[in-house]
Amino acid sequence: MNPYNLNEPQPSVVLNQPPVVKKQISAWKFWTPLLFQLILILAVPSQAFYTQITGKTVVLQTAPVDPYDFFRGYYQTLSYDISNLDTLQGLPGWKQIAKAEKYLPPGSLIYVTLEQPKDATKSQHPPAWKPIKVSAEYPQNLSNNQIALQGKSTGWSIEYGLERYYMPENQREEVNSTITEAQMKDRQSFVVEVKVNAQGKAIPVSLWVRDRNYKF
């Protein structure tokens, strides 16, 4: 082959090029978001199950309700004596939490210590536990007949995550009429039974209207 003869065909030159590497997503980058979403989905029922199994049974006194406004769609709305700021403002510890203010800023956490009645009078339903003090932190050294319930301020009331309940449709009319009759005679005959865990979180268990018990 004559290198100076341009008419003579020249051999093709193949350059060494790096192989094409297809980028692959690491398995952990794919599964981590899915696992995180799964944890979020399971967190609420897991906490409810934990509270149901380990929680302490407490009975809360409800505030008066309008039976005609009690049911809204598939849910019913309740409030409690301890939802009312007028009830809490007279308890030990309120001044330390609210300082000179009458209301707590929205989102403020509060712990209400409840005590089981010593002498439970004979009644048609379990007696409601009595609020004895409030605090900004979970109280220590609670006795066996006491429990702390965590609430959050809305600015004008305290909510405990126990305000909305689902009631089967076939029970609504009966519950409605029973509440109406009970409140006309004795407001305190309407109470809610809840389970409270060691962190102060609660879930509803049942509704008592006089001697009738409705499971949630």
Is 178 within a domain? yes
Q: Is residue 12 part of a domain?
A: no
Residues 127, 121 contacting (CB under 8 angstroms): yes
Structural domain count of the chain: 1
Asked if residue 167 belongs to a domain, the reply is yes
pTM assigned to the model: 0.72
- Is 199 in contact with 54 (CB distance < 8 Å)? no
* Structural domain contains residue 4: no
Q: Which residue bears the tokens 């609210």?
A: 98
- The domain in which residue 75 lies consists of 41-215
8 assigned to some structural domain:
no
The C-alpha atoms of residue 113 and residue 107 are separated, in whole angstroms, by: 19
Q: Is 175 part of a structural domain of the chain?
A: yes
pLDDT truncated to tens, each residue of the chain (216 aa)?
555 555 555 555 555 555 555 555 566 665 666 565 555 444 445 566 666 677 899 999 988 766 555 555 556 778 899 999 999 999 999 989 987 677 789 999 999 999 999 865 556 778 999 999 999 999 998 999 999 999 999 988 999 999 887 777 777 777 777 877 777 776 667 899 999 999 999 988 988 888 888 887
Residue in 164, 156, 158 with CA at minimum distance from that of residue 72: 164
Length of the chain: 216
User: Cα–Cα distances in Å, from 79 out to 18, 20, 49, 84, 124?
Assistant: 71, 66, 23, 8, 21
Strand partners, 113: 133, 148
Say if 13 falls within a structural domain: no
User: Considering the domain boundaries, does residue 129 fall inside one?
Assistant: yes
